[in-house]
Amino acid sequence: MFALIDCNNFYASCERLFRPDLATTPIVVLSNNDGCVIARSNEAKALGIQMGVPFFKVKGLCKQHNVQVFSSNYTLYGNLSHRVMTVIEENWPDTEIYSIDEAFLNLKTLPEGKIDAFCWDLQKKIFRNTGIPISIGVGRTKTLAKVANHVAKKKLNTPVFNVTHQEERWLPHLEVDDIWGIRHQWHKKLVSLGVTNAYELSKLNPRFVKDHFNVVLQRTVLELSGTSCLELEAIAPKKTIMSSCSFGELQSDFGFIQEAISHHCGTAWDKMRRQGLIAQHLSVFIRSNPFREDLAQYSNSIGFRLVNPTDDVRYLTTAAKLCIKRIYRKGIQYHKCGVLLADLIDRQYRQMDLFHQPSDEKFFETEKVMSLINEINQKYGPRTIRLAAEGFQKSWSMKRQLKSPHYTSRWSELPLVFLR
């Protein structure tokens, strides 16, 4: 038996958590540079605001219905996600964190008669400890747990639903497009075979599905019919880490772009360092806006193989600056740039080039400096200490004009409660 825990309208719920005055107000959250809608409260959904719609298309509707609009605040969302996942793992260690707002639980060691009570209790604990509303779906497979969660949210409006022994009743209500793992290009072919819902898909011959589609869809068919094919997955160490974003405004000045590249290098390094990894390869990219057909178009990237695996942000930033210098083209209005750290390995498996090994003194000096930067940033906040190459004005940074405060990560922005 599996359970899927899914935070309801997660980004919107995070914003509402510290704004109780918005308990019944429609809320939308925008993507980078305040471009598109990426999260909606139920009230906003009821107004017909679609996921992914460009904000300028619904700006008038939002104003008309007093919709509260927020820029994305990923620091807040990441912190609250960690709190939710911590509560889950404290109550059930056999957990797979699937995404920022979803987690699978393997409940095979829990007697079937106790599953529902456990899930209801966990749902209440998560809400009490974090303030984030969640839905829990339970099924004999991970795919059926997804189905149960969909039914809980979309059909029954209940926090917990166990679809076990009720599959034949609810699978016909789930369209093919709503099934977890169904690729968009498969939809037309399935419809041509007379398959329009999850129940009809579950009745297909698995061998036929493998021959005419692939083994991935075959597993989905088996999972829908109650045969478990997907176990919980451990989080594998990352092989790459990227930091990138679109500029708030088009940029052509090399100095600004070099600062942005340095900033992204520092951000990627910080993520890498916290995971105990070192990089063997670095690449940077830059491109113009492909949707601005009135402007000259240009896109390029370049890689740099590091002589020795490293987590020295100074060395990485120097390499990134050399790379951007080689691909920068004067006169282009640039829209986006980024840095990719690749071929990541665990720091304890560091292997040096036989002919280019740093001295022990240099190696330990680097480690001491990097550790000190980490300690200061952990104590006083991310990126408190950073390289001057990143600049100070950040006129290239993305627009987030409607961003909420850092309620959980900055002392100066803690919410205040006044008692009368």
> What are residue 119's DSSP bridge partners?
none
pLDDT at 401: 73
Whether 178 and 252 map to the same domain: the answer is no
pLDDT band at 235, cuts 50/70/90? Answer: low
List the structure tokens of 317: 């930033």
pLDDT at 101: 95
Rounded to the nearest 5°, which phi and psi values hold at 74? -65, -25
Angle at 251 between CA 249 and CA 255, to 5 degrees: 130
> What are residue 37's DSSP bridge partners?
30
CATH number for the domain that contains residue 141:
3.30.70.270
Whether 273 and 208 map to the same domain: the answer is no
In a domain, residue 401? The reply is no
Tens digit of pLDDT for each residue in 248-276?
Answer: 788 999 999 999 999 999 999 998 988 88
Pairing of strands 345-346, 37-40: unpaired
Owner of token pair 């510290």: 18
CATH number for the domain that contains residue 275:
3.30.1490.100
pLDDT band at 419, cuts 50/70/90? Answer: confident
Whether 38 and 85 map to the same domain: the answer is no
Tens digit of pLDDT for each residue in 172-182?
Answer: 999 888 888 78
| Number of domains forming the structure of the chain | 3
Q: What is the mean pLDDT of the chain?
A: 89
Do 136 and 1 form a contact (C-beta atoms < 8 A)?
no
Pairing of strands 68-71, 102-106: unpaired
Whether 94 and 59 map to the same domain: the answer is no
Tens digit of pLDDT for each residue in 360-401?
Answer: 567 678 888 888 888 888 788 777 888 888 887 665 566 667
Structural domain boundaries enclosing 13:
9-73
Instruction: Calculate what percentage of the chain has a pLDDT beyond 90.
Output: 63
pLDDT at 239: 83
Buried b (16+ CB within 10 A) or exposed e, 177-204: eebbebeeebbeebeeeebebbbbbbeb
Angle between helix axes 10-17 and 74-91 (nearest 10 degrees) is 100
In a domain, residue 217? The reply is yes
Whether 81 and 220 map to the same domain: the answer is yes
Question: Does pLDDT of 4 surpass 90?
Answer: yes
Pairing of strands 299-310, 277-288: antiparallel
Rounded Cα distance, 346 and 254, in Å = 34
pLDDT at 284: 95
Rounded Cα distance, 338 and 309, in Å = 20
Rounded Cα distance, 285 and 199, in Å = 46
pLDDT band at 349, cuts 50/70/90? Answer: low
Whether 206 and 101 map to the same domain: the answer is yes
Whether 129 and 246 map to the same domain: the answer is no
Whether 94 and 221 map to the same domain: the answer is yes
Tens digit of pLDDT for each residue in 60-87?
Answer: 999 999 999 999 998 899 999 999 999 9
pLDDT at 395: 59
pLDDT at 398: 60
pLDDT at 232: 84
Average confidence (pLDDT) over 169-190: 85
Lowest mean pLDDT among 98-112, 147-161, 336-350: 336-350
Tens digit of pLDDT for each residue in 103-128?
Answer: 999 999 999 999 999 999 999 999 99
In a domain, residue 385? The reply is no
pLDDT at 214: 87
Question: Does pLDDT of 29 surpass 90?
Answer: yes
pLDDT band at 22, cuts 50/70/90? Answer: very high
Q: Which residues contact 246 (CB under 8 A, 6 or more apart)?
A: 32, 33, 35, 335, 336, 398
Locate the DSSP E strands across 8-133: 27-30, 37-40, 68-71, 95-99, 102-106
Whether 164 and 301 map to the same domain: the answer is no
